[in-house]
Amino acid sequence: MNECKVAVIGATGAVGQVFLKIAEERQFPISQIRLCASERSIGKTLKFNSEEIPVELCTRELLEEVDFAFISASGDISREFAPIAAEVGTVAIDDSSAFRMDQSVPLVVPEVNANDLDSHQGIVAIPNCSTTPLVMVLKSLSKVSKVKRVVVDTFQSVTGTGSAALQELEDQSSKILSNQNFSVNEYPHQIAFNVLPHIEPFQENGYTREEMKMVYETRKILHDEQLMVSATCVRVPVPISHSESMHIEFEDRVSPEEVRQILSTEAGIKVMDDPFSDVYPMPIQATGIDDVLVGRIRKDVSHPNGIAMWVVCDNLRKGAALNAIQIAEQMMKKDVVKHSNWR
Amino acid sequence: MNECKVAVIGATGAVGQVFLKIAEERQFPISQIRLCASERSIGKTLKFNSEEIPVELCTRELLEEVDFAFISASGDISREFAPIAAEVGTVAIDDSSAFRMDQSVPLVVPEVNANDLDSHQGIVAIPNCSTTPLVMVLKSLSKVSKVKRVVVDTFQSVTGTGSAALQELEDQSSKILSNQNFSVNEYPHQIAFNVLPHIEPFQENGYTREEMKMVYETRKILHDEQLMVSATCVRVPVPISHSESMHIEFEDRVSPEEVRQILSTEAGIKVMDDPFSDVYPMPIQATGIDDVLVGRIRKDVSHPNGIAMWVVCDNLRKGAALNAIQIAEQMMKKDVVKHSNWR
């Protein structure tokens, strides 16, 4: 397969827009593109490769006509259309959490577990945007020593929620700066000039769903059910790119030099670690680029086999749209787009 | 001693201003107040208890006339005036890091180690604003089980840097929102809509000075040189109040219920932990109040004896000015203001 037909479901959203941009940048070989969104976007057109493409509603017929359906809308939309795509012989590459923990659905970051694509049955899930940089770092470092435990605190941007949350951050910020009243819709509390230790609903164990996703998705992707992970996921008033403070405990003693060395040879990872020159990853640098940025690599002074580091990744690119496109590229290269299991 | 004479050195700064406000609120028994700042504030007056007080330069003579000198300016100012205060029989209560690790200087959070005040020699240091909430929580929980290790990531507000940084956050935010050019002076990089994993200079071990303060100060205050601490200190675009994600490892198994129970009886700590009703500490709630707010208390799913929690504290109040006033209150109550050692 040298070229493919694709549908983008959620084309007008934050991830959808970045998807179109990346598909152009990478010259992803699309012979035909269909752009789907909800009722209220019908009548609009979106530009792709300087063509104006009309926005359509997603239907079974439309899904029959494409090879890939990239879905980044809501869990409900994914639950509705991904199974239909699989049924009609199309591969759904799904950005929602709806199918991630489904045993028949591969959950894939191509640099980490591309082989899991071989057994797909028509739906492939991409991980939560805060899981992706974590598994990339852990997979790479597991070549040096087995990873036993990770404590991770996140600093997540508002586009993880979507375009409306970005609008709300801007609106609240500008109203607070001019002493005006503002409204709170996207989050339970004000996000401008504040931080919220609350992403996704709370679970019985006191963690949020977002935090437990980082536990379960990481184990699934790394095929390591013994790996201990604890996360605190925090929303910060940043437009794009998620930052993560990681504390990794290995089976053996690992040096910061080894870590720096191995990460700097890894595809998709860029080491930015020259603190004495004020060089470390930040959201303003990660935004708009493909690589996961890693810095502040140091021996954890509180654990004999610990390494601490600071990782920043564009949540719309590698955290979502880019990873989805890379999955499609891999499937075409591996020639596993069509698969008898799911016919 | 029922009343005291005080000098506030750094009276026009962010902490100095809050100091005056808290001294009024608590009716701290001041018979005379002297307000000191740098040359460029001379000629100004500041209001205290509805009196207009002139701003003066600090001198040996001025220090001779007061019982307490509260110093919150720069390390250099502290290094200049705290020893003079001690020499002339005045107690310097110092907010800088200049004397914190000096063995002859008690480093005090009254709820934690008030007894250390007994041996003062004229200078008492208050901890870094990110250390204070940490030691309050750890001291309290050590009654349940010995604390072995803490991993803490901070989300620190810009007033930790000072008033100019707050101005810079506002200025950058408003210029970015209106697409104008902005300047970067207070930090190595833009702080508005960004996060900086960099507070204070970097050390040879890859940690920052701020991060290592959390290690050394915590050990000194808790009198526990074996305690393992690893911190990542991050500046976030928040005006006031520092948030901290804490992961505490105990010698024994400790339940979230025990933790909630013990913290809720502790002076200076308020448990705000009802996540299903969206109740957890946030900077917008902690700002302007005295208590350290603790929430999101849960069993750490990655460690058999671990507890995770989220703590927020007004860095200008309990993190600085309030703690300083409480130290003076304690010293008056214990009658240890005058001390022969330092005459």
The mean pLDDT of A52-62, rounded to a whole number, is 97
The whole-chain average pLDDT of chain A stands at 96
* Mutate which: A154, A230, A315, vs B, most B CBs within 10 A: A230
Interchain contact, B278 vs A189, CB within 8 Å:
yes
Which residues from chain A sit within 8 angstroms of residue B151, using beta carbons? 151, 247, 302
Distance from CA of B152 to the nearest CA of A (A): 9
Residue A341 has a pLDDT of 44
Judged by CB atoms closer than 8 Å, whether chains meet at A308 and B232 is answered as yes
**Touching B: A residues 47-76, CB under 8 Å:** none
- For chain B, which residues make up each domain, given as ranges? 4-127+320-342, 131-157+195-315
- Pick from A130, A150, A152, A193 the residue to mutate for testing the B interface (most B CBs within 10 Å): A193
Q: How confident is the model at residue A343 (pLDDT cuts 50, 70, 90)?
A: very low
B288 touches chain A (CB under 8 A): no
pLDDT at residue A286, rounded to an integer: 98
Q: How many helices (H) and strands (E) does chain B have?
A: 10, 13
Q: pLDDT digit of tens for each residue in chain B (343 aa)?
A: 789 999 999 999 999 999 999 999 999 999 999 999 999 999 999 999 999 999 999 999 999 999 999 999 999 999 999 999 999 999 999 999 999 999 999 999 999 999 999 999 999 999 999 999 999 999 999 999 999 999 999 999 999 999 999 999 999 999 999 999 999 999 999 999 999 999 999 999 999 999 999 999 999 999 999 999 999 999 999 999 999 999 999 999 999 999 999 999 999 999 999 999 999 999 999 999 999 999 999 999 999 999 999 999 999 999 999 999 999 999 999 999 975 444 4
- The alpha-carbon gap from B237 to the nearest alpha carbon of chain A, in Å, equals 6
Which stretch of DSSP H or E encloses residue B60? helix B60-64
CATH of domain A4-127+320-342: 3.40.50.720
- Indicate the pTM of the whole model: 0.95
Q: Which residue of B has its CA nearest to A255?
A: B205
**Which homologous superfamily does the CATH classification assign to the domain defined by B131-157+195-315?**
Dihydrodipicolinate Reductase; domain 2 (3.30.360.10)
The 8 Å CB, 24+ separation contacts for B206-213 are B206/A256, B206/A275, B206/A296, B206/A297, B206/A298, B206/A299, B206/A308, B207/A298, B207/A301, B207/B231, B208/A275, B208/B233, B209/B97, B210/B128, B210/B130, B213/B97, B213/B100, B213/B127, B213/B128, B213/B130, B213/B131
What's at B312, amino acid-wise?
V
CB B272 within 8 Å of CB B295: yes
User: Does the pLDDT value for residue A6 go beyond 60?
Assistant: yes
A4-127+320-342 and A131-157+195-315 have identical folds: no
Residue A41 is classified by DSSP as G
State the CB neighbour count (10 A cutoff) for residue A125: 28
Distance of residue A81 Cα from the nearest chain B Cα, in angstroms: 31
Interchain contact, A280 vs B245, CB within 8 Å = no
Considering only residues B166 and A2, tell me which one the structure prediction assigns the higher pLDDT. Answer: B166
Active site residues of B: 129, 242
Closest CB from A196, A229, A243 relative to B282 = A196
- Nearest-CA distance from B235 to chain A in Å? 11
